[in-house]
Amino acid sequence: MLEARNLIKEFGELRATDDVSLRFGVEEGEMVFIVGPNGAGKTTLINLLTGLLEPDEGSVVMHEGTGDGTVERDITDMRPDKRVKEGLVRSFQIVHLFEEMTVRENVRTASLSNHGRISEMRSLDDEHETVERDVDELLEQFRLKDVADEVAETLPHGDRKLLDVAISFALDPDYLLLDEPTSGVGSEEKEYVIETVVEASKEQNVSTVTIEHDMDIVRDYADRMVALVEGRVFREGSPTLLDTDAELRRTLLGVTEDE
Amino acid sequence: MSTEDADADGPRRFRLMKGLELTSRQLFYVFVGVLALFLVPEIQGFQSSLRVRTVYLGLCWGIAAVGVNLLLRHAELVSFGHAAFFGGGVYGAALAARYGGIEEAVLLVAAGVLVATTLGVLIGWLVAGYLDIYFALITLAFNQLLFAVVMGSPELLGSDDGLSVRPTSELSRPTVFGLELGPAQYEVLTYYVLIAVVVVTLVVTWRLVNSPFGRALDAIGQDRTRARFIGIPVKRYVWGTFVISAVYGGLAGGLYGLTALRARPEGTLFALRSGELLFMAILGGFQTLLGPIVGGVALTYMLTELRFATEYWEFATGFALLLIVFLLPNGVIGSLPAIVDGLRARARNPAKVSGDVRFLGGLLGSKLRDAAETTKILLFGVK
């Protein structure tokens, strides 16, 4: 389980994250969706959890093991690359890819890192069999096999999103934090991207935390939903709140129910 | 079916070592290249403009440029201060000769590598977190700092007179593998040793950039944030690479000292030399392994030999460099495939040559029109 404890982050006057305490991956493979209007502090929260930003106050804690045998580890001061090795992986709203590499090389580089072989100075020969097998599986799973030898920067937007997620899965995550995996993707492709992500997460028992603006997707896929407003946790619970909680609907969707 | 297709189907490959395979044609080029280098001392006998000394110094600069290129091509970091390590190498050798009483060439070079590596570890640690213009400026600042230190200590480091790399005993030059040699033998033997070093350097670099570590460097260069978030300790890796490139610089500087026999601040440590190192990499083709070596020899040749050929050597050097940059944007080595393809196409279809003439004429015409326009604006203030 991944826990945010009383996280506070300020940018000048603005309190982007205001005393946020949340738990993710309470059960293994749990899918949590974060919703909220622009500027609610959704991305800041993910940045704090993954170490891209340091909190002003509060801590990030990882719980290992289950039942009575759980161990708490404070990872607030841990470098991002170390957190990745601990199974805490993220994607970005604006995809970050290795643009001049092919699709296959992108995934392979992540896989080499995952298998602890990225520091090797021996030549890249056919000696990384487990890596190659992983890469092939991922390309298959994320339906990137046909474009495996294309250079990343030439890919269409939907494939770029998928590649970004495929890179994340190559890192064998326990927790996967996805910052708007479907943003900018056409409505037809959207379903396809999210479906692929969900399938892969279920298969590998990955707990996900996803920022999402499309409420239909949240309704369909969320085990739990967190609504952030002005840096604070506004609501937390079942996605059915989207239909039942009038105040939430007003704040989030601008819907005002008559009567 | 053309011969190119036959090549693509799978030419015979020769496995030199694990992971390093060459086609028979590549192997042939390597053989010719190394042979040509080995023949330089022979040719010097009857063609005095091809001087072993110049090729030697050029190859030294080339080795340092290979180090610079490791950062430039892969981590996409522009160092404006790598003369610090080249100079550090030369001064390391000089210090060992002057204060350590060392006479053996191998040990002098080792001293150079030691000094440059130490500098690389320190400076690298301080610059590894910076990017782009900040990285360039900070490396430049450290380079200038070292230069100032040398200039400011006439007793210890000889200020702008420099330091001799010659032994303090009655020997006039270092021993090589324990042998005391005359000037001619010394020149040829150190030159052959240098060629061996160049070959080893290239093979090592080839292995490095084609390893997982090399891929990590590419990743860092292409998207530093993503690299961190696939678990690469970016700062450590940049630091490591910086140190490796400093080792190349020190090795090159030490070897340079063996032939220059004097460490001079202007010639080896001044920041302008850092710029030249970058230029060598780009001139030869920084997207290639061999480019920096070729660029090193070519630029050194222009800078040292052209002055004997023409009074306007500085102008000629500049002009030659401009031509290469404009006509061969991928550098000498990087443009070879395109040049060869172009020549082949023209051999098959001579009519294309007239197209080239038209293209060049058009280019010249448009440049002249631009120049006339600019002159008019300057003179009359209007178009």
Compare CB distances from B230 to A84, A123, A124 and report the shortest one's residue: A84
* Tens-digit pLDDT profile for residues B4-51: 333 444 556 666 665 566 777 778 888 888 888 887 777 776 666 668
pLDDT at B15: 64
Contact list in A for residue B229 (CB cut-off 8 A) is 50, 52, 80-81, 84, 89-90, 96
Cα B249 from Cα B296, distance rounded (Å): 13
Q: What is the DSSP letter of A30?
A: -
* pLDDT average, residue stretch B323-328: 78
3-class DSSP state for residue A90?
strand
Confidence tier at B59 by pLDDT (50, 70, 90): very high
Which among B226, B235, B243 is the top mutation candidate for probing chain A, defined by the most A β-carbons within 10 Å of its own β-carbon? B226
Percent of chain B past pLDDT 70, that is, above it, reads: 92
pLDDT at A123: 66
pLDDT at B227: 93
Cα B123 from Cα B130, distance rounded (Å): 12
Cα B142 from Cα B149, distance rounded (Å): 10
* Tens-digit pLDDT profile for residues B200-245: 999 899 888 888 999 999 999 999 999 999 999 999 999 999 999 9
Return the exposure string of A94-131: e unless at least 16 CB atoms fall within 10 Å of the residue's CB, then b: ebbbbbebbbbbbbbbbbbbbeebbbbeebbeeebeeb
Residue B135 CA neighbour count, 13 Å, CB half? 19
pLDDT at B2: 37
* Domains of chain B by residue range: 29-266, 350-380
Q: Chain A residue closest to B230 (CA)?
A: A110
Which among A46, A49, A108, A119 is the top mutation candidate for probing chain B, defined by the most B β-carbons within 10 Å of its own β-carbon? A119
* Tens-digit pLDDT profile for residues A207-220: 999 998 888 888 88
Edge to edge, what strands does the sheet with A175-179 contain? A88-90, A175-179, A207-211, A31-35, A224-229, A232-237
Instruction: Name the token pair of A136.
Output: 């092939």
Amino acid present at A191:
E
Q: Chain B residue closest to A110 (CA)?
A: B230
B154 touches chain A (CB under 8 A): no
pLDDT at B5: 39
Cα A104 from Cα B244, distance rounded (Å): 28
Contact A98 B223 (CB under 8 A): yes
Instruction: Name the token pair of B174.
Output: 């270092």
> What does the angle CA B179 – CA B183 – CA B185 come to, to the nearest 5 degrees?
55
CB–CB of B56/B297 below 8 Å?
Answer: no
Cα A234 from Cα A241, distance rounded (Å): 12
Contact A120 B210 (CB under 8 A): no
CB–CB of B199/B34 below 8 Å?
Answer: yes
Cα B264 from Cα B257, distance rounded (Å): 10
| Selected residue with higher pLDDT from A244 and B5 | A244
* Domains of chain A by residue range: 2-253
Q: Give the right CATH number for A2-253 from 2.60.40.10, 1.20.1300.10, 3.40.50.300, 1.10.10.60.
A: 3.40.50.300
Which among A93, A96, A138 is the top mutation candidate for probing chain B, defined by the most B β-carbons within 10 Å of its own β-carbon? A96
Q: Chain B residue closest to A115 (CA)?
A: B231
Q: Which residues of A touch B (CB under 8 A)?
A: 50, 52, 79-82, 84-85, 89-90, 92, 96-101, 105, 108-110, 112-114, 117-125, 128, 167, 170-171
DSSP string, A94-160: S----TTSBHHHHHHHHHHHHTT-TT--S---TT-HHHHHHHHHHHHHTT-GGGTTSBGGGS-HHHH
Cα B324 from Cα B318, distance rounded (Å): 10
